[in-house]
Amino acid sequence: MIQRIAIIGLGTMGPGMAARLARGGLQVTAYDVAPAAIERARTMLGTAEGVLDALGIAAAGAGTVRFTDDIAEAVAGVDLVIENVPENIAIKAEVYRAIDGLIASDTIVASDTSGIPITQLQAHISHPERMVGMHWSNPPHIIPMIEVIGGEKTAPQIVETIRDLIRSIGLLPVVVKKDVPGFVENRVLYALLREAVDLVERGVIEPEDLDTCVSWGIGYKIAVVGPMALLDMAGLDIYKSVSSFLNADLSNRGDVAPMVLEKTGASKLGIKSGEGMFSYTPEQTKALQAERARKLVAVRRILEGRE
Ligand SMILES: NC(=O)C1=CN([C@@H]2O[C@H](COP(=O)(O)OP(=O)(O)OC[C@H]3O[C@@H](n4cnc5c(N)ncnc54)[C@H](O)[C@@H]3O)[C@@H](O)[C@H]2O)C=CC1
Ligand SMILES: Cc1ncc(C(=O)O)c(C(=O)O)c1O
């Protein structure tokens, strides 16, 4: 049974994951190579705990989060390590090498990778049978679905153990049956983002209007009626007719769009740099994050039938 968990990497995702796991009664140690990230994570943990309170998620037992700047201390005696460092195989491999001699041979090592096939990551760890994908969605303390992915060498029992852990703390595991790049969530999201970026880039629509169109026309509906159920709601005959001429006109770009290369090249990365598709002052960012958390909490409570 999993009771002690180490989280390696405390950037955007780590603190919220730590908060949610501790709320589920688990003992979490949280480590980052950067002291500044640990300090930021302490504040983010407090914010995430406030959101979990607003979600009405009661503590199941005496879960804790302990921060450390010592990786050996972080992983000592844990049942599960969740690697949560940048989406770069070399950086992830460095972490696997660092923990390899520090953990027991049956300690499970999960990666929160957004889409690097688990089979590729397994090449960098001894005991690859214990490695598994555990892909959370941002913000991780609010979004209840987590993908679970086995690589070619993952023992089936490990996939089941992680699925059961997620279920046991009241979250929604989805087991992805094939280790395809991007798994399922990001394949679908990136199909949408590719088309959205293309439409803005071609001047078909302004960025603000694109967001209104997708959030109110598709997003709001899809939270209640998933894509497979939506096909039935619209009618497969309609889908057949529209897709017969539309599919061929959709973006099939195989590289990164020029607009994205231009913005990233100018360090316009979004909220984290103050400018991306839109501009943000620090005050606006704070207000926006609070407003988004409040709305996501309200929508989730309604979808769960709790309001
Ligand atoms: N940002 C997002 O929306 C989502 C990201 N992911 C995935 O989660 C992983 C982490 O993403 P973010 O939290 O966004 O990244 P991030 O860049 O915000 O944070 C990564 C953290 O890892 C730390 N780090 C770097 N090298 C390290 C090492 N050797 N040992 C310990 N810590 C180290 C950095 O100091 C940083 O604090 C990535 O694989 C990403 O693709 C998954 C779901 C959503
Ligand atoms: C743009 C983007 N990319 C990846 C992810 C992920 O799930 O890995 C997300 C997310 O929302 O979680 C994302 O927005």
Q: What are phi and psi of 168, to 5 degrees?
A: -65, -20
- At 80 the pLDDT is 98
Nearest CA to ligand 1 atom 43: 137
134 alpha carbon – ligand 2 mean position (Å)? 13
- pLDDT tens string, the chain, 307 residues long: the values are 999 999 999 999 999 999 999 999 999 999 999 999 999 999 999 999 999 999 999 999 899 999 999 999 999 999 999 999 999 999 999 999 999 999 999 999 999 999 999 999 999 999 999 999 999 999 999 999 999 999 999 999 999 999 999 999 999 999 999 999 999 999 999 999 999 999 999 999 999 999 999 999 999 999 999 999 999 999 999 999 999 999 999 999 999 999 999 999 999 999 999 999 999 999 999 999 999 999 999 999 999 988 7
Nearest bound ligand to the CA of residue 41 = 1
Residues forming beta bridges with residue 27, ordered by sequence position: 4, 64
- At 307 the pLDDT is 76
Q: What are phi and psi of 8, to 5 degrees?
A: -110, 110
94 CB within 6 A, ligand 1: yes
- At 82 the pLDDT is 98
- At 78 the pLDDT is 98
- Point out the ligand 2 atom lying closest to the alpha carbon of residue 115: 8
57 alpha carbon – ligand 2 mean position (Å)? 24
111 alpha carbon – ligand 2 mean position (Å)? 14
Which residue among 99, 114, 121, 296 is best mutated to probe the pocket of ligand 1, counting the most ligand atoms within 8 A of its Cβ? 114
Which candidate, 4, 18, 11, 24, places its Cα nearest to that of 107? 4
* Pairwise CA distance, residues 79 & 34, whole Å: 24
- At 68 the pLDDT is 98
Q: Nearest 10 degrees: CA dihedral of 268, 269, 272, 276? A: 60
* Pairwise CA distance, residues 134 & 127, whole Å: 17
- Point out the ligand 2 atom lying closest to the alpha carbon of residue 112: 8
137 alpha carbon – ligand 2 mean position (Å)? 6
75 CB within 6 A, ligand 1: no
Which candidate, 193, 166, 142, places its Cα nearest to that of 303? 142
81 CB within 6 A, ligand 1: no
To which residue do tokens 């780590």 refer?
14
Which candidate, 158, 148, 110, places its Cα nearest to that of 5? 110
Nearest CA to ligand 2 atom 14: 138
Which candidate, 184, 176, 126, places its Cα nearest to that of 151? 176
